[in-house]
Amino acid sequence: MIRGTGGRAIALAALVACGTCASAQTDAVAVDTAYQAVLASAPVAKALSDIKADDARTLEEQKRITEIPAPPFKESVRAEYYLKRFKELGLDDASIDGEGNVIGMRKGTAPGPKLVVSAHLDTVFPEGTDVSVKEKDGMLLAPGIGDDSRGLAALLAVLKAMNENAVKTVGSVMFVGTVGEEELGNLRGVKALFRDHKDIDGFISVDGLSISRIVNQATGSQRYEVIFKGPGGHSFQEFGLPSAIHAMGRAIAKISDVQTVADPKTTFTVGTVRGGTSVNAIAAEARMAIDMRSNNAEELAKVEAQVLALIKEAVAEENKRWKSDKIGVEFNLIGARPAGAIPEDAAIVQASRRAVGAVSQPARVAFAGSSTDSNIAMSLGIPAVTLGGGGEGGGWHSPREWYKATNAHLGPQHVLLTVLALVGVEGVSKPLLVVRPPRQK
């Protein structure tokens, strides 16, 4: 799910005019040349037209996907359906990998770059959640209707348009439905993808809705479950023993006073707390979960070190208060998402931006930071962006999630053009994406 930090709009013309950015100028010219050629291609024009004409069918697909439950770590039923759709749309060799990702390769016509275009299968909602889609006031209402059912449906729309119009690409396109993007899934699906495939040259995640918001920064995060342990005892008879809850309270108070930089945006929160057994008992155990985030790896490391040190300091103070050494603390890392960024003048970012202007006006876009499957690619230095699937929505991660299919076709159109510019179209344009040496690790 996209959880953003905002961004700034820039114009391609300003980038081209930058007298101090020779490489950016060259890339911008190459991007513009590629788009002129791609947009002049009859099969591409027909594919774009078909996506718009097929808008209602794509929406029905989105609803079907939404109504297949995909709780955290239990995405297999939705994965089987997605595999079936891949094969029906022409990816005969598609399969489910060992982690649960659905993967299908659309091979290029020549040795060229390999681009992944993906959306995530999982939702944040627990098993048993009512995921039936309801309609009200022109909106679709259901948990997960936008996040990321829209991305999954948009991917299928792109694949369908490419195959039905025999659009031949120079490079290869790997279509992927990933598992474990949300919450404690900890990006396990995309981590496995990059572990098993060392030759990926670029990565696109379709997550979120707006085509005018291009994510080129990876918001990294560190998440801990912190467990405070002590002797426990009766609140009256054994008064004077240190309390695990009191130690946790001291820690939370200290964490609350932490100051972080505004740019790059760096945040923290104690999200959950629990502990104790009775109102009249000195707590023997207390637990809290803390989330720390930043668009910058160094700032994330700084806030992590500061917070962990403050927790240890709080434990020491609780022990000192009662002249004891009975309170201890354990740190369990429950989530780690690396930070990273792709420069705004990179070909993949420029290609994404240029595609906005090709399908919609005005063509202003905002570059943003967020935590998505693209984090892994960006942290590895592999060109990556996260793009919207089209339409409008809100109420993310809640039972009140809603979706409205306003100009929804622009999402898959935007993705299609970005993909084609990056991998090239046979006899029409050269790939903008560069083939990278295979990674060793």
Q: Which neighbouring-strand residues pair with 115?
A: 173, 202
Q: Which neighbouring-strand residues pair with 330?
A: 227
Is residue 415 one of the residues assigned to a domain? yes
pLDDT at residue 1 tops 60? no
Claim to verify: residue 156 and residue 239 sit in the same structural domain: no
Q: Is 208 left (phi over 0), alpha (psi -120 to 50) or beta?
A: left
> Which one of 313, 334, 355 terminates a domain?
334
What pLDDT band is residue 177 in, cutting at 50, 70 and 90?
very high
pLDDT at residue 145 tops 90? yes
Quick: pLDDT tens for 37-46: 999 999 999 9
Contact 270, 250 (CB under 8 A): no
Token look-up 């590629």 returns 34
Distance CA 260, CA 59 (A): 42
The pLDDT assigned to 441 comes to 65
The pLDDT assigned to 60 comes to 98
Find the mean pLDDT for residues 150-177. 98
Distance CA 399, CA 143 (A): 5
The pLDDT assigned to 176 comes to 98
Q: Are strands 213-218 and 340-341 parallel, antiparallel or unpaired?
A: antiparallel
pLDDT at residue 148 tops 60? yes
Quick: pLDDT tens for 199-224: 999 999 999 999 999 999 999 999 99
Is residue 4 one of the residues assigned to a domain? no
For residue 287, the domain's CATH number is: 3.30.70.360
**Which pair of structure tokens corresponds to residue 222?**
């560190």
Find the mean pLDDT for residues 186-197. 97
Quick: pLDDT tens for 51-90: 999 999 999 999 999 999 999 999 999 999 999 999 999 9
pLDDT at residue 91 tops 90? yes
pLDDT at residue 30 tops 70? yes
Claim to verify: residue 326 and residue 362 sit in the same structural domain: no
Per DSSP, the three-state class of 332 is: strand
pLDDT at residue 393 tops 50? yes
Lowest mean pLDDT among 8-17, 22-31, 297-306, 418-427: 8-17
Which amino acid is it at 104?
G
Which amino acid is it at 272?
T
Claim to verify: residue 271 and residue 358 sit in the same structural domain: no
Which helix (H) or strand (E) segment holds residue 19: the answer is: none
- Domain range spanning residue 245? 220-334
What pLDDT band is residue 438 in, cutting at 50, 70 and 90?
confident
Quick: pLDDT tens for 248-292: 999 999 999 999 999 999 999 999 999 999 999 999 999 999 999
Contact 203, 187 (CB under 8 A): no
Claim to verify: residue 34 and residue 171 sit in the same structural domain: yes
Per DSSP, the three-state class of 102 is: strand
Q: Are strands 365-370 and 213-218 parallel, antiparallel or unpaired?
A: parallel
How many domains in the chain? 2
The pLDDT assigned to 197 comes to 97
Contact 232, 284 (CB under 8 A): yes
Claim to verify: residue 325 and residue 250 sit in the same structural domain: yes
CA angle 179, 183, 187 (to 5 degrees): 40
Claim to verify: residue 229 and residue 280 sit in the same structural domain: yes
* Predicted TM-score of the model (pTM): 0.89
Which helix (H) or strand (E) segment holds residue 328: the answer is: strand 328-337
Claim to verify: residue 114 and residue 148 sit in the same structural domain: yes
DSSP readout, 109-164? SSS--EEEEEEE---SPPTT-----EEETTEEE-TTTTTTHHHHHHHHHHHHHHHH
> Which one of 334, 369, 385 terminates a domain?
334
Is residue 430 one of the residues assigned to a domain? no
Find the mean pLDDT for residues 84-111. 97
Q: Which residue, among 101, 103, 106, 116, has the nearest Cα to 201 in the 3D structure?
A: 116
pLDDT at residue 14 tops 80? no
Claim to verify: residue 269 and residue 170 sit in the same structural domain: no
The pLDDT assigned to 44 comes to 98
Is residue 16 one of the residues assigned to a domain? no
Claim to verify: residue 156 and residue 203 sit in the same structural domain: yes
Claim to verify: residue 89 and residue 25 sit in the same structural domain: yes
Q: Is 195 left (phi over 0), alpha (psi -120 to 50) or beta?
A: alpha
DSSP readout, 223-275? EEEEEEE---EETTTTBTB--HHHHHHHHHHHHHT----TTTTEEEEEEEEEE
What pLDDT band is residue 8 in, cutting at 50, 70 and 90?
very low
Quick: pLDDT tens for 118-136: 999 999 999 999 999 999 9
Token look-up 């013309």 returns 13
Claim to verify: residue 330 and residue 347 sit in the same structural domain: no
The pLDDT assigned to 12 comes to 33
Is residue 136 one of the residues assigned to a domain? yes
> Which one of 334, 365, 385 terminates a domain?
334
Q: How far is residue 199 from each of residues 70, 98, 113, 202, 358, measured CA to CA in Å?
A: 29, 18, 9, 9, 30
Is residue 213 one of the residues assigned to a domain? yes
The pLDDT assigned to 7 comes to 36
Give percent of the chain above pLDDT 70. 94
For residue 357, the domain's CATH number is: 3.40.630.10
Claim to verify: residue 373 and residue 391 sit in the same structural domain: yes
Is residue 66 one of the residues assigned to a domain? yes
Q: How far is residue 197 from each of residues 64, 104, 190, 335, 346, measured CA to CA in Å?
A: 30, 13, 10, 23, 23
Is residue 11 one of the residues assigned to a domain? no
Which amino acid is it at 404?
K
Contact 174, 117 (CB under 8 A): yes
What pLDDT band is residue 23 in, cutting at 50, 70 and 90?
very low
Distance CA 390, CA 409 (A): 6
